[in-house]
Amino acid sequence: MSPTDDLFAESLPAAPKPIADGAWLLRGFVLSEAEQLINAIQQVASQAPFRHQTTPGGHVMSAAMSSCGDLGWVTDRQGYRYSSTDPLTDRPWPAMPALLRQIAMEAAAAGGYEHFEPDACLINRYTTGARMGLHQDKDEDDMAAPIVSVSLGASIRFLFGGTARTDKAAGWKLEHGDVVVWGGASRLFFHGVAPLGKRAEHPTTGPMRYNLTFRKVR
């Protein structure tokens, strides 16, 4: 192999790494599309601005959120649910950009989940100290479909546990361009992210991290 071949090999995404039964970490899977993905996020946010939602218990979430696709995930005093309209504007959520849909389908296939067709994309924006507590993604009707989670910007520690909140969660450092896919036996595993560190930063986004979470709700 020539030196040029070595450089090319290093730029390729790493082979899928199993992190649990049915769950995979795809290192650098979207690096080549990262800039386009961030541009797409900004386009979505121009129509559906980021906001800090409130949980049914009255807790204001530290991560700011938006959505695109047929459905968006919302939370307020009435509970957790999906809605076809943005409660801030009373208009449908922005359409899911074709690139986002394609990335989600390709990542799902790389994890062994063929024919994934997401109808919702949640977009989280993390700044210093923002976190996501351990939770299950269980508001979807279609539990046969996987979850696809894309990380862009500053690195963060991803926590992946088991079927009970008290199960010990393993920690994985997620960096710019990484993707996690889980389904099957691990579809309802508790997961979250530790607070974004004070020194966490990336040349593209500064001290900020974006997360795209694709789901098949119906």
pLDDT tens digits, 97-128:
999 999 999 999 999 999 999 999 999 999 99
Q: Considering the domain boundaries, does residue 211 fall inside one?
A: yes
Q: Considering the domain boundaries, does residue 8 fall inside one?
A: no
The CATH code of the domain that includes 40 is: 2.60.120.590
Asked whether residue 203 carries a pLDDT value surpassing 80, the answer given is yes
Neighbours of 198 (CB within 10 A): 9
Q: Considering the domain boundaries, does residue 4 fall inside one?
A: no
**pLDDT tier at 13, thresholds 50, 70, 90:** confident
Q: Considering the domain boundaries, does residue 184 fall inside one?
A: yes
Measure the CA–CA gap between 214 and 105, rounded to whole angstroms: 9
Measure the CA–CA gap between 193 and 198, rounded to whole angstroms: 15
With contact defined as beta carbons under 8 Å apart, do 158 and 193 qualify?
A: yes
Model-level pTM?
0.93
Q: Considering the domain boundaries, does residue 3 fall inside one?
A: no
For residue 160, give the 3-state DSSP assignment. Answer: strand
Q: Considering the domain boundaries, does residue 34 fall inside one?
A: yes
Predicted confidence (pLDDT) per residue in 60-103, tens digit: 999 999 999 999 999 999 999 999 999 999 999 999 999 999 99
Domain range for 177: 14-215
DSSP 86-148: ETTTTEEPPPPPHHHHHHHHHHHHHTT-TT---SEEEEEEE-TT--EEEE-----S-TTS-EE
Q: Considering the domain boundaries, does residue 179 fall inside one?
A: yes
Asked whether residue 6 carries a pLDDT value surpassing 60, the answer given is no
**pLDDT tier at 2, thresholds 50, 70, 90:** very low
Helices and strands (H, E) in the chain, number of each type: 3, 15
Predicted confidence (pLDDT) per residue in 148-167, tens digit: 999 999 999 999 999 999 99
**pLDDT tier at 192, thresholds 50, 70, 90:** very high
At residue 10, the pLDDT reads 45
Structural domain total, the chain:
1
**pLDDT tier at 207, thresholds 50, 70, 90:** very high
Measure the CA–CA gap between 45 and 172, rounded to whole angstroms: 28
CA angle 186, 96, 60 (to 5 degrees): 65
Of 211, 35, 40, 194, nearest to 128 (Cα)?
A: 194
Instruction: Read off the pLDDT of each residue in 160-181 and give the average, rounded to a whole number.
Output: 97
Asked whether residue 3 carries a pLDDT value surpassing 80, the answer given is no
Q: How much is the mean pLDDT over the chain?
A: 94
At residue 14, the pLDDT reads 81
Residue 12 burial class via C-beta count within 10 angstroms: exposed 0-12, middle 13-18, buried 19 and up: exposed
Q: Considering the domain boundaries, does residue 9 fall inside one?
A: no
Residue 212 burial class via C-beta count within 10 angstroms: exposed 0-12, middle 13-18, buried 19 and up: buried
The token pair at 85 is 């309209």
